[in-house]
Structure 1
Amino acid sequence: MSGARTPVGTTGRGAARQAVTIHFAGFNRAWAAWIGDRLERRGLRVVYLRWDSPADVPLVDLLRDLELAEGRILIVVSEWYFQLGPRTQEEWNTALREVVAPDPSRFAAVSVTTASVPAATAVLAPVDLTNMGAEEAERRLLDRLDLPFEPQPDTPDGARRGPRFPAAMPEVWGGVPRRNTRFTGRESLLNDAYHLLQGAEPGAGVVTLHGMSGVGKTQTAAEYVYRFGSEYDVVWWVNAEKRVTYRRLLAELAPKLGLQTGQEYGERLRSVRDSLRRGDPYGRWLLILDGADEPDQIWDLVPTGPGHVIITSRNPEWTEHNSKLLEVPVYARDESVAFIRRRAPRLSEGEADQLADALEDLPLLLDQTARWLNDSDLSVRQYIALLDGGIDSDVVKVSADFPLAFQTAWSILLNKLRETVPESVDLLRLCTFFAPGFIPVRLLREMSSDELPEQLAGLLNDPLLWNKAINQLRQYSVVRLESHEAVGDEGAGSGESLYLHRMVHQIVHKDMPDADRKEFIDVVRLALAAADPRRPTDPDLWPGYAEIVPHLKYADVLQTQEPTVQRLVFNCLRYMYFSGEYVAGIKLGERAMKAWRELLGPTHPRIWELTYHYTNLLRAVGDYAATEALSRAAAEHLKAERGPQDLEHLRAAAGLAADLRGLGRYDEALELSQWVLVAYRDLLGDQDSRSLNSLNNLAVSLRLLGRYPEALEHDRRTMESRRLLLRARHPWTLGSEISYAIDLRLLGRYAEAESIQAKNVREIRLVMGRDNPQTLKAEHNLALCRYRLGERDRGRDRGAEREEPGELLSSVLERGERVLGETHPLTLIFATAQSCYAREHGDIDRARELSEAVVARYEVMLGDEHPFVAGARANQALILRNVGEREAGHVLLEQALAAMTDAVGEHHPWTLGCALNASALRNIVGDTESAAELSHDTVGRAVETLGRTHPLTLSARIAHAADLRGLRDRRQAEKVEQEALSDLDATLGSKHPHTVSARSRNRPYWDFEPQVI
């Protein structure tokens, strides 16, 4: 046959360009795309013809139809090409001899497999392209088509790069499941997904494969990767069932992309998203988010950019988040039949059809049933009778989503597993006490054999028995061996990472004897406890907690009195508090409170420790009324039972002080904070971390009372001691730096504050990640420091890299709303600052929208008498003034001034600020004498409280000068104004916006700024 070769161009078709039709099985699309690209680069016209082999059409007729294709016909030979149908090797041999042999010049072939193929394939004279590099494969391809081989130049920058050589992996590859060599059908679905992604605008390439459990969404996504992955430089697969897991796994992409980041996954996550968004260093990337059933949990973290995202989900709500939806239905009947016959060759086409009908064409169930049915002597008719009759009366309805056939079929399969390798059932049942999906079974194998019951010790300690059980489960498609990282043969052999489908998980969990249930769940609980990193305040260890947390619910860790397991619960709650996972932490805390009060009793010591962690999380989201009741009950009980000097009582009292601060009862909070600090120092000394925490809390109380110099001194001492006792980058040390910088700013020492805060932001981003609440707090303070310094517009005398105040404020608010929610206390602080900034920069509609929302939320959360409500209303009054509603603004501001005075006293800086604004509004509505009287009193109180040169005092002095001019007391007005301007020059500088504005006789105003509690 080799002597009968004909060059591509001699087919006599008369086309403008020589044509080649590439005929391939969908499974081998990557090869077809690479071959076509190589030919098109040499000026040939390529037609792609995917091989379809409907069983009801004779194979000879299908091959004869192929002769109608354009030009030379190049067949991509693989076992998949011959399995479609499926057809027997005898059919293929007959068809090839009848159709190809008489006209060999029309056909050519390349082989991309080492598997056996029909003997008559020799008539195609396929050239082997396996086990070689791209250049040699291309040379062989061209030689087979009688084309000259001339190396092609490198693709110029900016030009579209062609598909990668299929035998070469993308430059970055991770987490992708092994290819399912039994994958069947889904051709139109895969092509639809491909065209949707390729046709999407940059940043909009997101497709969600949606469908019920067990329908094959994950397998379809994996097949997409293998068919089209050669067109990408980066392919990264992540388990997206839980936000914490998704964040960690996406962050693991950072080093693969060559990004220089710290070890903390929050910083890595930010770098990864920025890199993907820019397309630097790779623009052709594909990210697969598997099992993303809760869009609200992760939609904000889905990367955008020039690459593509595929999501698998049972939830169709992804359409609300800029994703195109493709439904993955159950198999079409011909797909079911083809799959069953490939999985169970002994079954006839009719039997396969009967089985598919009984199993409702559900791919997962077909996969798990067909293989063992092929190995058994049970007929399809007998098996269907078992399905119809049920195995026993204990078969339960697991979920409305699961067909009844699935549950019955699973009972049959479990019996089969018990008969062959009973240990595989033990392993499977153990896995159901972890969350479905990726099961960290390595935690089980790392346990001491002393902690294992005899039934499981042999399985977990005997590598041969372990591998036998694993292989049995793999054989029947019960588990997969893939993990979130690419696993080599060694990792797979050790069974480090198993994947268990949620349907299998639920039905196995239900079908378990009570004795096994109790024994197995204890083992998993102890395994999780043994994996506890034990330092929840250390960001470097947060990935360990992120891995453990999803499994707590399934191991039912709240129903045991085992101390190590209860300690794990406390540490997970603490991790959630420090990492900002407040909602998940509160849910766990609520469940723990209910469970442990029943299990241990309402006054058990563990209840008071749980109360501490739970109230921390509730307090973080602003539920101060609830936390005050819990903290007070704990403090009173512990004081009565153990005495006032008990450490647990002191901790509860410290929490109560924080609750009082949240409720605006600052004097009470200060008194309690002072007492707690003295008690801790008496018991533990000055340098114990608990004493330093109390010193920090005392500073917070002083700051809220407007006693800024005292707060500064306490925060300085706390910061310096924490640097010595802990480390410079410990979260508590970094938190002290933020507090110290805030104090400096509130005292008007803007340059010092900015210097410290800028350094702190750089470090806190590395340690905590960009979206951690502490990072947001730091960036917010940095923005205010720069704003108070007078920085307004980018450029001028500073570098382009320096983040400007407006940019920072907008970014912090956007992330606060997204990560924490719109009603979180920090988000409301950020919204307040953004509103004031928008008002001063002409975006009055945005300012009003934000201000009205802040006022309404504070009123609901805190009540009318809270100082934050008064302050927010004072800000709102300035907006009303700007939009011309002067009388309404005046009335609102007078109410705010009276409420603020009642709440914190007339000498508090917040009251002085309200008074400064109220004097201006009195002037506007014509009450000049009252305005001058108020501004005069304000200056006196400001000098007494803050000093002559504090920025708020200087603003009050400038305002008083304006009021004196309104009374026509020009001489006194001039004197007051000149003295104030001189102090402004000396304090802020002659070019500072406040100084320039004062010289232009623009009346100053004050913005209320809520503080953290």
Structure 2
Amino acid sequence: MRQTITISFASFNRAWAAWIGDRLERRGVRVVYLRWDSPAEETLVDLLRGLALAEGRVLILVSEQYFQLGPRTFAEWNEALREVVAPDPAKFAAVSVTGTAVPSAVAVLAPVDLTNMGDDEAERRLLDRLELRADGRPPDEGRRGPRFPAAMPEVWGGVPRRNTRFTGRDPVLTDAYRLLRDSEPGAGVVTLFGMSGVGKTQLAAEYVYRFGSEYDVVWWVNAESRVSCRRLLAELAPRLGLPTGDEYGERLRAVRDSLRRGTPFSRWLLILDGADEPDQISDLVPTGPGHVVITSRNLEWGAHNSELLEVRVYTRDESIAFIRRRAPRLTDHEADQLAEALEDLPLLLDQSAGWLNDSGLSVEHYIELLEGGVDQDVVRVSADFPVAFQTAWSILLNTLRDMVPESVALLRLCTFFAPGFIPVRLLREMSHDDLPEQLRGLLDDPLLWNRAINQLRQYSVVRLESHEVGADAESSAGESVYLHRMVHQAVARDMPGEERRDFVDVVRRALAEADPGRPTDTRSWATYAELVPHLPYADVLGSTDRRVQTLVLNCLRYMYFAGEYAAGRDLARRALDAWHELLGASHPRIWDLTYQYANLLRATGRLEEAETIERAAAEQLRQERGEHDLDYLRVLSGLAADVGLQGHYAEALALNEQLYPAYRELLGEQDARTLNALNNLGFALRLTGRYQEALEIDRRTLEQRRLVLTGRHLWTLFSEVSYAIGLRLLGRYAEAESIQVANVREYRLVAGETHQDTLRAEHNLALCRLRGGDRAAAGTLLAKVLDGFERKLGDRNLLTLSAAVSHSCFHREHGDIDLARETGESVLARYEQLLPQGHPFVVGARVNLALVLRNVGEWDHGLVLIERALAEMTEAVGESHPYTLGCAVNTSALRSLVGDMESAAELSRITVVRAAEALGRTHPLTLSARVAHAADLRGLRSRPEAAKVEQEALADLEATLGSHHIHTVSARVRNRPYWDFEPQAS
């Protein structure tokens, strides 16, 4: 039976694997090649155990690159080798093809060294390590196998030294090898194309070292010009032993004829590096049995009988691995930060990481320096990437300017968009009146436009993302292009000041004309999402054009409605600074901008800042314009929201009771702004605990919004949620859930799964299901909602905290009590940082935490916490507010647990009276208070009175919620009720 050996090797050492495999196959051994990979998500122990399952014996090629994939630490390798390999030494063997340090536990593999010797001795050592007889089956002398890796091809010239830090790129190398291997004679040409700095030359060099042992001739040619290409090809003649004279033309003809015929060598590899002008040198590319690898920025090689392989920037994993090799002092996280900042461009990663490794500068500080543009002072030119980035691009720009000047103009226009994906179609779609002379022809003439786009694409300056595959570039070029961040910087730095002024104005106009003008319409959000990133690059805040200023305001409004709060807040702050200087403090647009800014401050939890700004604005507008001015009323409505969210519920209600009739008088009953004021009045009533009145307001608002705005408008959907919340707070759980199910479906369709209002709707649906008894569905949805809010808004947003409160309460009763406690304590800490002491949300978080303490047996601690909460809640919202009544229900329970029966009974009695007056006899909270009071009476052994109170409460529970509702069933078996604080954040 044939013996099988599996060779495990790093791609870097493929030549060794091929030679060893060939030597073994000649001895009758069946060889399986297994390229070693080390994905970060799998442990080394698991990877080695998987390797141990390979067929036959496993031969590991020990090298520096084998152990650096990942990258992994030597400590990890040592542990894994001892755990997996040491117990089964017969399964593994190893040969060493490196002289550098390797993990100490590699000793368990007993590797034999194959370096610094000839092929005969290396083969003898290999066979001896595998216990194969060297005098066994003789080698097949008629078969040409791979060359011994330590031996150079017979002809070798011009090849750069190997980059020992070379990382990744296996798919491209494999594709190149496959294309050349499978090509027809005379057609073995592959072009590696891509932008400057992407590593084309390094990739070609690695191809040579990885596969060079299969060739007899390897010849590297600098093909940047026809002259240098001809000269270096001609210099191959004497190396091939061709009888020629000294004249270049004669030598060149002899070389091309020799390569075409394959004599004296048929296995040849020619590299044409930097061949950016195929029209100038395509006739010099030899044909024959050998192979040609071309590196170029110009994808026009595809029209010259070459296969094209695009070389893109590194994947993020490749970037991190490369940076760690170039700058070992950096952590994986720091390497990830640097790769993100440099967009994974290999040349810049090499030069920046090299500089960083020898400096004490932090990655964060270094990135700040880079944001001002790549500078020679913060990169280090290495032997592997010898041309500095800025220099390379300056050379290319000069070339483009000479060939197609319009391509440079277009490229410069692109720098006033954000780097990355640039919607250059906006330039074509805009009005072309009053354009600068140098741009008029470019934008008016489709042929010139396509020529400029294709010139940039041809030299890999940009990529056409929209139409790259299967499209006619001549007719469809120009939808969207991709421009790397560092190319963007290099071009911007090269631009004259006069062009800068003209070009930025053109891009501003293009962006303004692309404004849909409907920031609240979700169908326009994709357009706004495309426009927003380009605003700072076009310096829109410095424009006095009314259309551009309207674009800024509409983008801010979109960002508010789409939940892009932090980014919107920062843009609004910069806009205020710029427009105060540009327009003056009392310009009408300043008031519009102030309102947008305050909204975004409030949405990001900066309530006091919003209040300060809006109080000042309201006072100034009141004095200048009076109380019936729409700008004044709008600022006042923002102020009402500010004070309401800060816990000043009475003041918020008073302001909203003033605002609604004022809007109705000025604008009429059905104006959208009047309906917004009515909506805010309903929310203020809910905050003060007047649930029935709030429900009626929300119903009216919903009906009017459906009539005025249609059913799928965001504000209509928002009103549906508010109405469903009101129904739930009044105990009408089935009605609430029915409305909320349909509403969630509409929200997901209109706004998407991750929108904050969709999450708000899902939050209410989860609470409806929880109150209805579907605990499993409620728990799953609560977890999803909390995760969604944290991802969308962060963990300190009031909506996120509201979801965290519900999540904690759910786990306290139906899940993980430790998780409930951890979440409850975290919520309380975050509320205390965001809100003033005594705020109902802060106090309510203490109420919920006291219930957790009750459940874990810390009754005394819980009682202290709940007593404090009851006093603070009473002071904050009054003794008859539902928050205070619920807090009292929980306080009486803890008093009862610690044995203070009389005090517990008295508190529950008072709570029943107040709840009945405030909410009605059959409200769920009143019913809970009545059931709790019955329990306290039993504790005092007042059994007849307790029975009477209990029977009446049970009868009302059955009539109100049904005999099978979870609250009714729980009361029937005498489980003491509790109250969960639920913050009303919107």
**Short-chain TM bin:** 0.5 to 0.7
User: Quick one: which amino acid aligns to residue 742 of structure 2?
Assistant: K
Q: Which residue of 2 aligns with 1:673?
A: 656
Distance 2:451 2:765 in 1: 59
Equivalence map 1:28-177=2 (5 Å): 57-58=153-154, 75-77=182-184, 79-81=187-189, 85-86=219-220, 89-95=256-262, 120-121=288-289
Q: Which residue of 1 aligns with 2:167?
A: none
Equivalence map 1:373-412=2 (5 Å): 397=375, 400-401=378-379, 405-412=388-395
Distance 1:834 1:429 in 2: 52
Distance 2:886 2:496 in 1: 70
Q: Which residue of 1 aligns with 2:451?
A: 468
1:735-766 Cα deviation digits (max 9, x unpaired): 00000000000000000000000110111011
Distance 1:495 1:317 in 2: 27
In 2, are the aligned partners of 1:434 and 1:554 still within 8 Å (CA)? yes
Q: Which residue of 2 aligns with 1:863?
A: 836
State the shift of 1:508 in Å.
Answer: 1.9
Secondary structure (helix, strand or coil) at the match of 1:948 reads coil
Q: Which residue of 1 aligns with 2:896?
A: 923
Report which structure shows greater RCO (CA 8 Å, sep ≥6). 1
State the shift of 1:768 in Å.
Answer: 0.9
Q: Please report the RMSD computed on the Cα atoms of aligned residues, expressed in angstroms.
A: 4.1
Check if 1:609 corresponds to 2:592.
Answer: yes
Change (3 A) 1:422 1:51: farther
Distance 2:344 2:891 in 1: 59
Change (3 A) 1:627 1:558: same
State the shift of 1:185 in Å.
Answer: 12
1:888-941 Cα deviation digits (max 9, x unpaired): 111111110111111111111110000111111111122111111111110011
In 2, are the aligned partners of 1:59 and 1:91 still within 8 Å (CA)? no
User: 1:547 aligned to 513, 526, 530, which one?
Assistant: 530
Q: Which residue of 1 aligns with 2:493?
A: 510
Distance 1:48 1:526 in 2: 67
Distance 1:487 1:632 in 2: 59
State the shift of 1:777 in Å.
Answer: 0.5
In 2, are the aligned partners of 1:893 and 1:918 still within 8 Å (CA)? yes
Secondary structure (helix, strand or coil) at the match of 1:315 reads helix
Comparing 660-669 and 634-643, the one that deviates more: 634-643
Distance 1:525 1:58 in 2: 61
Secondary structure (helix, strand or coil) at the match of 1:449 reads coil
Moved over 6 A (4+): 12-21, 47-56, 114-117, 176-187, 329-332
State the shift of 1:971 in Å.
Answer: 0.6
State the shift of 1:48 in Å.
Answer: 15
Distance 1:819 1:448 in 2: 37
Change (3 A) 1:120 1:864: closer
Secondary structure (helix, strand or coil) at the match of 1:76 reads coil
Equivalence map 1:781-820=2 (5 Å): 781-793=764-776, 804-820=777-793
1:133-189 Cα deviation digits (max 9, x unpaired): xxxxxxxxxxxxxxxxxxxxxxxxxxxxxxxxxxxxxxxxxxx999997989999x9
Distance 1:81 1:55 in 2: 25
1:215-246 Cα deviation digits (max 9, x unpaired): 9xxxxxxxxxxxxxxxxxxxxxxxxxxxxxxx
State the shift of 1:465 in Å.
Answer: 2.5
Equivalence map 1:337-736=2 (5 Å): 397=375, 400-401=378-379, 405-483=388-466, 486=469, 488-490=471-473, 493-736=476-719
Check if 1:315 corresponds to 2:338.
Answer: yes
1:917-966 Cα deviation digits (max 9, x unpaired): 11111111221111111111100111111111111111100000111111
State the shift of 1:314 in Å.
Answer: 6.5
In 1, are the aligned partners of 2:644 and 2:684 still within 8 Å (CA)? yes
Check if 1:766 corresponds to 2:766.
Answer: no
Check if 1:955 corresponds to 2:978.
Answer: no
Q: Which residue of 2 aligns with 1:906?
A: 879
Q: Which residue of 2 aligns with 1:747?
A: 730
In 1, are the aligned partners of 2:190 and 2:307 still within 8 Å (CA)? no
Distance 2:300 2:578 in 1: 38
Distance 1:482 1:185 in 2: 13
1:777-817 Cα deviation digits (max 9, x unpaired): 10110010011112224xxxxxxxxxx10100111111211
Under a length normalisation based on structure 1, what TM-score does the superposition of the two structures give? 0.65
Q: Which residue of 2 aligns with 1:878?
A: 851
State the shift of 1:984 in Å.
Answer: 1.0
Secondary structure (helix, strand or coil) at the match of 1:865 reads coil
1:662-709 Cα deviation digits (max 9, x unpaired): 111111111111111111100110100000000000000000111111
Secondary structure (helix, strand or coil) at the match of 1:438 reads strand
Distance 2:506 2:321 in 1: 34
Distance 1:833 1:82 in 2: 60
Secondary structure (helix, strand or coil) at the match of 1:499 reads strand
Larger radius of gyration: 2
Distance 1:877 1:720 in 2: 41
State the shift of 1:601 in Å.
Answer: 2.2
Give ranges in structure 2 of 5+ residues lacking alignment. Answer: 1-23, 34-142, 158-179, 192-207, 209-218, 221-232, 234-254, 269-281, 292-298, 326-331, 356-372, 382-386
User: Quick one: which amino acid aligns to residue 895 of structure 2?
Assistant: R
Distance 1:52 1:436 in 2: 47
State the shift of 1:476 in Å.
Answer: 4.1
Q: Which residue of 2 aligns with 1:153?
A: none
Change (3 A) 1:212 1:600: farther
User: Quick one: which amino acid aligns to residue 849 of structure 1?
Assistant: E
State the shift of 1:724 in Å.
Answer: 1.2
Q: Which residue of 2 aligns with 1:836?
A: 809
Distance 1:506 1:906 in 2: 63
State the shift of 1:209 in Å.
Answer: 3.7
1:307-335 Cα deviation digits (max 9, x unpaired): xxxxx9773589xxxxxx99956899xxx
User: Quick one: which amino acid aligns to residue 892 of structure 2?
Assistant: S
Distance 1:48 1:698 in 2: 89
State the shift of 1:607 in Å.
Answer: 1.4
State the shift of 1:94 in Å.
Answer: 4.6
Change (3 A) 1:50 1:875: farther
User: Quick one: which amino acid aligns to residue 994 of structure 1?
Assistant: H
Secondary structure (helix, strand or coil) at the match of 1:455 reads helix
User: Quick one: which amino acid aligns to residue 1000 of structure 1?
Assistant: V
Q: Which residue of 1 aligns with 2:294?
A: none
Distance 2:847 2:906 in 1: 19
State the shift of 1:489 in Å.
Answer: 1.6
Q: Which residue of 1 aligns with 2:239?
A: none
Distance 2:919 2:349 in 1: 76
1:443-478 Cα deviation digits (max 9, x unpaired): 111111214223311111012322333344345443
User: Quick one: which amino acid aligns to residue 400 of structure 1?
Assistant: V
Q: How many residues align?
A: 721
Determine what percentage of the aligned residue pairs are the same residue: 58
Secondary structure (helix, strand or coil) at the match of 2:262 reads helix
Change (3 A) 1:74 1:866: closer
State the shift of 1:614 in Å.
Answer: 1.3
Change (3 A) 1:400 1:76: same
Change (3 A) 1:836 1:49: farther
Q: Which residue of 2 aligns with 1:738?
A: 721
Under a length normalisation based on structure 2, what TM-score does the superposition of the two structures give? 0.67
Secondary structure (helix, strand or coil) at the match of 1:941 reads helix
Distance 2:941 2:804 in 1: 40
Change (3 A) 1:765 1:185: closer
Check if 1:1001 corresponds to 2:984.
Answer: no
